[in-house]
Amino acid sequence: MNQLIELVQAQYPRYLLRVLMLSVLEVAAVALLFILTKPYFESYQVFWYLLCLIIVPACACTVAVNGLTKIASQVMVQAQKRNIEIANTGNKKLATSAWQYVAWYKLLIMLVTAFIIALCYSASAQSFTDLLLLFLAMIIATFIFASWLIINAAVPLSQAVLQAFRHRKKPYNEAQSSDHIIRFHLLPWSLIAVATLFTFFVKYYLGLADEDGYVETSSLIGSTYISAAFVALWLWLEVGQMARLDHILGHIHLTGVGHVTDSQAFSLVMAVPIILVVSIAVFNNILDIEQYRYQAAIALSMLCILLAALSGASIAVIQLCASKTVRDVLADNT
């Protein structure tokens, strides 16, 4: 056990740097999106509460899950190489999914901190410098909470993963596997994608809305297409990486999936937003809708984002299950 702890702790310096880089990257991407999106460029005063309350926990959780999964994979590989033995402690609290270490009270603390950051910004002069400070505060908060989650969960998660790998019995059956995929991949990632894009749509459509709060159908279709493509691609790549560990442990096991190449999967991912916006266009044409109230536009776009997120994540999982080569190579590595 001590060897395992040492192995986990040895990962920290490298992964803390990785967490920092990811925090900067994720928040900076959101910041750029908000600053560069026109119209409504000037009016960045309105949604920092919403922005902070969603972005800080969303980024912290995604960065932490990313880091934790990679630490656990790395520890599993190294423990295997160094023949580190670990007894099955039978501790049922140990979980093999990083999401299970994101407790409600931790989320609450993140939300309170995000609220304080928003409050400070609200009381500031709200100049462009303050806006940059707001995003800097969000980066730091993301880093702190992601690191906090990692430091607390890295050892139990690695232990659970190693135990599950050493004492793995039969892989999950299809029903268990589907449950696992939905609980630990489709739902959390879709929720985060939808929540993140929600802040964007609120800002964008409000800026676009006319005096009475209406948004043109063509604008809705354009923004939905770009956002859905981004989300589907993002989750295809992200979930594809995060689910590999579960695949190795046998928690993701779908039979009857043929071989799917990268280009086929990419084409599928790119087809999703097209299908979604064509559906909206047909729907608008049938009902002769020329504009939407901005709340309706947000709701419709969110629905499309949810479908795109589910599709992107599903394609990633299906590709993983279809890829026998990947599984064999990973199994050999371990």
Partner 1 sequence: MFQENNVTHVDGPASKMYGRWSLFLGGAGLILVLILMLDSAPYKNEDLDFNVNNTVRSGSLILPTNTQSPRALMIFVHGDGAMGRSAFGYYYPLWQRLAKQGIASYSWDKAGVGGSGGNWLEQNMQNRADEIHQAVAKLRKVPHLAGVPIGLIGFSQAGWVMPKALKNSSQLSFAVFVSTPINWLKQSAFLTQTRLQKEGVTTREKNQQLAQARQVSQLISQGDDHNAYIEFLSTAHPDGIESAMSPERYGFVQKNIGADALEDLQSVKQPLFVAFGNHDSNVNVADNVTQYQQIFASNETQLKLKVYKNANHTLLKNSEFGHLSPSLWWLIKLSLWEEDGFSEQFVDDVMLWLNSQIQQLALKKPESIGAHE
Which stretches of the chain bind partner 1, using CB under 8 A? 5-7, 9-14, 16, 43, 45-47, 49-50, 74, 78, 81, 113, 116-117, 120-127, 129-130, 133-134, 136-137, 140-141, 143-144, 147-148, 150-151, 211-213
Q: Give min distance, CB of 207 to partner 1, in A.
A: 10
User: With respect to partner 1, which residue has the nearer C-beta, 117 or 321?
Assistant: 117
119/262 Cα distance (integer angstroms): 45
Which backbone phi and psi does 293 adopt, to 5 degrees? -65, 145
Reduce the DSSP state of residue 146 to 3 states and report it.
helix
CB closer to partner 1 out of 82 and 168: 82
CB 2 → partner 1: shortest distance, Å?
Answer: 8
Q: Which of 42, 56, 171 is nearest to 114 (CA)?
A: 56
Distance CA 202, CA 33 (A): 13
**Identity of the residue, 54 or 235, whose beta carbon is nearer to partner 1 in the bound complex:** 54
Integer Cα distance of 35 and 266 in angstroms:
29
- What is the rounded CA–CA span in Å between residue 195 and residue 205? 15
Judged by CB, which is closer to partner 1: 3, or 264?
A: 3
Distance in angstroms (rounded) separating the CA atoms of residues 308 and 9: 37
Residues 291-294: contacts with CB within 8 Å, 24+ apart? 291/214, 291/215, 291/216, 291/217, 292/214, 292/215, 292/217, 292/220, 293/213, 293/214, 293/215, 294/205, 294/206, 294/208, 294/209, 294/213, 294/214, 294/215
Q: Under a CB-based contact definition with an 8 Å cutoff, are residues 54 and 195 in contact? A: yes
Q: How far is the CB of 37 from partner 1 (least distance, A)?
A: 15
To partner 1, the closest distance from the beta carbon of 186 in angstroms equals 31
39 neighbors 208 (Cβ within 8 angstroms): yes
Q: How far is the CB of 290 from partner 1 (least distance, A)?
A: 18
Of 140 and 303, the one with the shorter C-beta distance to partner 1 is 140
Burial-class residue 171 by CB neighbours within 10 Å (0-12, 13-18, 19+). Answer: middle
Nearer CB in complex with partner 1: 120/326: 120
Cis peptide before 39 (omega within 30 of 0): yes
In 3D space, the residue among 294, 292, 300 whose CA is nearest the CA of residue 276 turns out to be 300
Q: Closest separation between CB of residue 6 and partner 1, Å?
A: 5
CB of 104 to partner 1, least distance (A): 20
Least distance in angstroms from the C-beta of 51 to partner 1: 11
For partner 1, give the closer residue by CB, 117 or 304. 117
What is the spatial distance between Cα 85 and Cα 1, in angstroms, rounded to a whole number?
A: 8
CB of 119 or CB of 274, closer to partner 1: 119
